[in-house]
Amino acid sequence: MKPEEPATTGADLLVKALIDEEVEVVFGYPGGAVLPIYDSIFKQNQLRHILVRHEQAAVHAAEGYARSTGKVGVVLVTSGPGATNAVTGLTDALMDSIPIVCLTGQVPTHLIGNDAFQEADTTGITRPCTKHNYLVKSVDKLARTVHEAFYVARSGRPGPVVIDLPKDVLMNKHEYSAPQKPVEHKSYKPITKPDRNQLHQVVELMAKAKRPVFYTGGGVINAGPKASQLLTQFVRMTGFPITNTLMGLGSFPASDPQFLGMLGMHGTYEANLAMYHCDLLINIGARFDDRITGKIAEFSPKSTKIHIDIDPSSINKNVRVDLPIVGDARRALKGLVDIWQKRQPKIDLKAQKAWWAQIDGWRQRKCLAYKQGSEIIKPQYALERLYHHIKDREHYITTEVGQHQMWAAQFLKFEKPNHWMTSGGLGTMGYGFPAAMGVQIAHPDALVIDVAGEASIMMNIQELSTVAQYRLPVKIFILNNQYMGMVRQWQELLHGGRYSESYMESLPDFVRLAEAFGAVGLRTDKPSELDGVIEEMIRIKKPVIVDIGVDRAENCFPMIPSGAAHYDMLLGPDDRAAKPVSEEGMVLV
Amino acid sequence: MSNRELTSSHTISVLVDNEPGILARVVGLFSGRGYNIESLTVAEVNAAENLSRITIVTAGTPMVIEQIKAQLDRLVPVHRVHDLTMEGPHIERELALIKVKGTGEKRVEALRLADVFRAKVIDAKNDSFVFEVTGNTDKVDTFINLMGALGLVDVGRTGIVAMTRGGEAL
């Protein structure tokens, strides 16, 4: 070797850059184009690689890892099918603002565009489903690109970033360059510091409000645990009611009397009516998603609206707001707490008392009530019992997508941020199990439970092999109603009970399936056995599939039918006939 | 807030890194989110700093226009987004090449009108002209319409480039 030739290959540089970015774990699957990276990983001990069984699962696992730690999740997949399989996970991370760096292999630069073996236009395919992406065309740009990618993924509104790496770039040699601190990007400069005067205006509006409500979302979780602490402090200082989005659960303790529960399509009666009747709406880190607003023309019609968000494009997108504030939720909340303490505003206590009386009236409707008999397990009951058994120990919950997800959001109580991982924006069936693996990797001793449906779990069931390999004691808690429950519910309510293709024919025997992968399978469909099964699941220090046979006809209520307004909720099965869904609503998803 | 709000046309200037895929990012953003593109031009404007300028003419309600600007600004390689329509007086120009085929009186008339519109003849054969006309979109449209009756066979247009009046840079 000539003395002037640098000794480091692109693949070695990459691994060094990842370590410098404090990456400890990579979720991936090897293939031809990324063999040099796998070779570099083989030759070192700092970076741990977790071999998944499908690239989609690698991204979801990285999401679970990221959401439960606040770090960037890292994915490594090969070119072509490796990259295209990752697309669902990337889109999921984009919709839920999860920081991910996904390294994709690519055919050598001289073959790009030649329809080479396992070639795909990865940057083209992933452009709309990433926050940003890069194709690294020469090794001298590799280290810098990796550092920039981590900065882009974790700063501002977080999101997934793809780095496409042609094989020749991985094999060429170059000197390493360490990350620059502080990072200064030439065009990407997210605004994180909120305008102080605007924060004063928030406090002034709050002081005048008669019927205020906080509506907070995943932005508070993404701003770090300190943001959730500040939110809790601020909400308690004001005495105002608060509701969370699906993504925001855990940012405010669910057991606090000021908490109204989740809002939106399957949110509580009190949360949705508070949104409808409030005169001041304080949105922090939520985005007026269609699951939240219902019919937009009748969304919170009487309120002055404040919106604090780190992403200017989320403001005034769906709902016109009166006081838009761009900034990081933690910094905004810090400012608000300071200003509130300094100014000690006199709030209208008489109006607050009347507002709480009204809210307590709505609470009396007990919108989450259900009737548990002695024969059949109600899914809500299974979750209430699950929560009873886990509430005093450190636990993390992930979910798949559907009825079980909404019941989990309604019946499990989230006291802390970063302990609840669910696919909110994209609604990805198959998310929960691999996400739970990622959580378990980050928190080896914690109790990690994927609340699943029997349909969703089939979408990434191959990962049983991964949990077996790494002895991850993930618990899969299946609420088995033998239907794609949410599809069946909509067919019942909106399509005349024609259950087209929603019955889960030929389900596996989940107990034997678990055993086939060296896990433990448990099953019951008797209310009397439920507690025993849950206790056993917690006791077993291995992966467990729990197959709970539940009421097949149970629907998830409350429900705001699509296209309806917040006051137009279906509270239970008896409510349904009175309120047919409009044709306009039928078109909506 | 409602759909009844009037839509209006806006000219937006975007300063971006001149890198592969940047145009695809911008165009993909418009198609993916269902925004209109009425005109789009792009070229490098600063080789030393590797910057390109994209000029987009789009139409929408005020809420949609605000959203378009926020979405553009969110793209990582975008340096600056300016809504020239909102930011005060600005100039817009477009260049067109127009081929007209014909002889006799029509040919003479085409040449006479070209003179009125200050269009230049940049190619001439015994039975054809190629005119170059520059101006705002209205003027170019009008000239092309007039040529329609005089043997118009081909049109090429650049799309709009625009700039604020006065000494301020983008």
Tell me, yes or no, if A180 is annotated catalytic.
Answer: no
Q: What's at A100, amino acid-wise?
A: I
Q: Is A186 on the interface with B (CB under 8 A)?
A: yes
Answer yes or no: do B63 and A187 touch at CB < 8 A.
no
Token pair 């006799």 is at which residue? B104
Task: Please name the residues in contact with B78: beta carbons below 8 A apart, sequence gap of 6 or more.
Answer: A187, B14, B15, B16, B72
Answer yes or no: do A187 and B28 touch at CB < 8 A.
no
Question: CA angle at residue A87 from A84 to A88, to 5 degrees?
Answer: 130
DSSP for A289-303 reads: -HHHHSSGGGSSTT-
Residue in chain B lying closest to A312 (CA) = B70
State phi, psi for A156 to the nearest 5 degrees: 60, -140
Tell me what pLDDT residue A183 has.
77
Consecutive 10-residue averages of pLDDT for chain A (589 residues): 69 97 98 98 97 98 98 98 98 98 98 97 98 98 96 97 98 92 87 97 98 98 98 98 98 98 97 97 97 94 98 96 98 98 96 98 96 96 98 97 98 98 98 98 98 98 98 98 96 93 94 98 98 98 98 95 88 69 72
Tell me, yes or no, if A252 is annotated catalytic.
Answer: no
Packing angle, helices B22-32 and B62-74, rounded to 10: 150
Peptide bond into A434 cis (omega under 30): no
Q: Is A69 helix (H, G, I), strand (E, B) or coil?
A: helix
- Choosing from A16, A131, A167, A378, the catalytic residue is A167
Rounded Cα–Cα distance for residues A313 and A308 (Å)? 12
Q: How close A524 comes to chain B (CA, Å)? A: 47
Q: Are A88 and A56 in contact (CB under 8 A)?
A: yes
Whether residue B4 has pLDDT greater than 80: no
State phi, psi for A524 to the nearest 5 degrees: -155, 155
Answer yes or no: do A187 and B67 touch at CB < 8 A.
no
Q: Give the predicted TM-score (pTM) of the model.
A: 0.95
- Which positions in chain A touch B63 (Cβ < 8 Å)? 316, 320
Answer yes or no: do B79 and A317 touch at CB < 8 A.
no
A477 beta partners: A451, A546
Whether residue B1 has pLDDT greater than 80: no
Q: How close A130 comes to chain B (CA, Å)? A: 11
- Choosing from A117, A237, A342, A526, the catalytic residue is A117
Residue B169 burial by Cβ neighbours in a 10 Å radius (0-12, 13-18, 19+): exposed
- Choosing from A265, A421, A437, A486, the catalytic residue is A486
Rounded Cα–Cα distance for residues A544 and A520 (Å)? 5
Q: Is B113 helix (H, G, I), strand (E, B) or coil?
A: helix
- Which positions in chain A touch B66 (Cβ < 8 Å)? 316
B43 beta partners: B53
Answer yes or no: do A313 and B74 touch at CB < 8 A.
yes
Residue in chain B lying closest to A186 (CA) = B79
Q: How many CB atoms lie within 10 A of CB A30?
A: 18
Tell me, yes or no, if A186 is annotated catalytic.
Answer: no
Tell me, yes or no, if A486 is annotated catalytic.
Answer: yes
Closest CB to A123: pick one of B17, B21, B73: B21
Chain A residues 269-298 with a CB less than 8 Å from chain B:
297
Token pair 């230049």 is at which residue? B120
Packing angle, helices A432-442 and A55-69, rounded to 10: 50
Tell me what pLDDT residue A578 has.
52
Tell me what pLDDT residue A573 has.
80
Answer yes or no: do B24 and A317 touch at CB < 8 A.
no
Answer yes or no: do A127 and B77 touch at CB < 8 A.
no
Nearest C-alpha neighbor of B101 from the set B140, B157, B153, B144: B153
Token pair 């001990």 is at which residue? A45
Section B33-46 average pLDDT: 96
A154, A164, A177, B109 from A180: Cα distances, Å: 15, 22, 9, 67
Answer yes or no: do A187 and B77 touch at CB < 8 A.
yes
Tell me what pLDDT residue A1 has.
45
Peptide bond into A417 cis (omega under 30): no
Rounded Cα–Cα distance for residues B163 and B55 (Å)? 9
Tell me what pLDDT residue A7 has.
72
Q: Is A154 on the interface with B (CB under 8 A)?
A: no
Nearest C-alpha neighbor of B93 from the set B34, B139, B42, B62: B139
Residue in chain A lying closest to B78 (CA) = A187
Give the DSSP H/E element, type plus range, for residue A462.
none
Q: Which of B50, B69, B73, B74 to mutate to test the interface with A (most CBs of A within 10 A)?
A: B74
- Choosing from A16, A27, A55, A459, the catalytic residue is A55
Share of chain B above pLDDT 90, in %: 93
Q: Are A137 and A169 in contact (CB under 8 A)?
A: yes
Whether residue B50 has pLDDT greater than 50: yes
